């Protein structure tokens, strides 16, 4: 029971592939993927959350698991972009702006997720403690904080340092995962059915489409963009449900591997590998026509390169004595 439970959760975490496809602007898929892919990871973090009132131990674990990898992986991105800036002959001021954005973190690079998750996990801990683990109160407090963030955006608020505003929304998805933990962690209580899958998929797509059609925006948590907040949340939760059902439909060892070893792949695929791939493609005149067929080939080729480059890097980091620095 426990082994199966872990496998389907790691299958869902393998939804990291959705992040790759979203950043590759995959035809037809990117818009749909953005309706739920980041809420999914916050939800799964809440799903595996084990509450303890010992704040000291909890904060220490979060620093080791999230903050240290943030600076290690972020430094790697920073170094690569310093080299790029040097070739582009950027001004000295631009180096300092990049360093500032890295340290302050306001939706900068893919590692914004680690900053937001760190603060969101602290907010979740505080809410669960205040609510004394009472589900109704957890829901009320979590929703209140989430609504505050939406009002903040509506009033013209910008992304705050270390994505605190994003964390206020993220903790809602984390608490939703925590609240349904007992139901989802056991296969006997939630089973895959095609009817459930079709209904949830329809809700996800329709709510997402209507949101984009009338608000002009899809969900992009990194910059605090939600369009119609109600439709965004409905679409995201339905998309999470679709992913969970699909993760119970079949088991794939490669996807499980990605779910269990996602840190380096998540952090470096976009701002290092994809950027370098695009540079090489441009240098050799590849994928410049932007037809649908060419975009699909571009996506497949780049996805293979991402995996071929970053999986060995992940394995090297795992085998080193510095693995904790990389969060693997």
Give domain limits for the chain. 2-326
Residue 249 CB-half CA count within 13 A: 11
Look up the pTM and report it. Answer: 0.92
Assign 85 a pLDDT band (cuts: 50, 70, 90).
very high
* pLDDT tens profile 100-154: 999 998 877 899 999 999 999 999 999 999 998 899 999 999 999 999 999 999 9
d(CA 31, CA 205): 10
pLDDT higher than 80, residue 52: no
146 conformational bin, left if phi > 0, alpha if psi -120 to 50, beta if neither: alpha
Helix axes 292-319, 16-23, angle to 10 degrees: 130
| Least confidently predicted of 162-171, 272-281, 287-296 | 287-296
Among 138, 142, 159, CA closest to 226: 159
- pLDDT at residue number 60: 86
- pLDDT at residue number 192: 80
Average pLDDT for 274-288? 92
Average pLDDT for 188-199? 82
Measured at the alpha carbon of residue 66, what is the angle toward residues 62 and 72, in degrees to the nearest 5? 140
Question: By three-state DSSP, how is residue 220 classified?
Answer: strand
For residue 132, what are its two tokens?
């004394």
- pLDDT at residue number 1: 42
Measured at the alpha carbon of residue 20, what is the angle toward residues 257 and 250, in degrees to the nearest 5? 45
H helical segments located in 63-111: 68-88, 92-104
For residue 312, what are its two tokens?
């060995």
- pLDDT at residue number 190: 67
């Amino acid at each position: 029971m426990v082994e199966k439970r872990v496998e389907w959760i790691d299958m869902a975490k393998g939804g990291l592939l959705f992040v790759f496809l979203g950043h590759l602007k995959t035809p037809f898929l990117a818009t749909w993927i953005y309706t739920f892919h980041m809420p999914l990871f916050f939800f799964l973090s809440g799903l595996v959350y084990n509450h303890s009132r010992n704040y000291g131990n909890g904060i220490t674990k979060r620093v080791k698991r999230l903050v240290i990898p943030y600076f290690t992986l972020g430094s790697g991105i920073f170094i690569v972009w310093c080299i790029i800036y040097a070739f582009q002959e950027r001004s000295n001021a631009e180096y300092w702006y990049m360093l500032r954005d890295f340290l302050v973190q306001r939706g900068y690079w893919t590692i914004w997720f680690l900053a937001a998750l760190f603060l969101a996990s602290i907010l979740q801990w505080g809410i669960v403690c205040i609510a004394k683990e009472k589900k109704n109160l957890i829901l009320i407090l979590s929703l209140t904080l989430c609504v505050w963030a939406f009002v903040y955006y509506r009033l013209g608020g910008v992304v705050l340092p270390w994505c605190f505003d994003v964390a206020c929304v993220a903790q809602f998805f984390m608490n939703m995962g925590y609240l349904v933990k007992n139901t989802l962690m056991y296969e006997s209580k939630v089973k895959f059915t095609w009817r459930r899958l079709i209904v949830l998929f329809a809700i996800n797509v329709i709510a997402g489409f209507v949101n984009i059609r009338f608000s002009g925006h899809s969900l992009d948590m990194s910059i605090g963009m939600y369009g119609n907040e109600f439709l965004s949340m409905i679409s995201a939760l339905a998309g999470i449900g679709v992913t969970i059902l699909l993760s119970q439909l079949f088991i794939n060892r490669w996807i499980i591997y990605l779910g269990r070893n996602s840190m380096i792949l998540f952090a470096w695929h976009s701002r290092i590998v994809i950027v370098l791939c695009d540079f090489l493609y441009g240098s050799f005149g590849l994928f410049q026509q932007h037809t649908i067929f060419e975009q699909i080939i571009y996506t497949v080729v780049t996805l293979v390169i991402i995996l071929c480059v970053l999986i060995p890097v992940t394995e090297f980091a795992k085998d080193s004595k510095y693995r904790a620095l990389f969060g693997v």
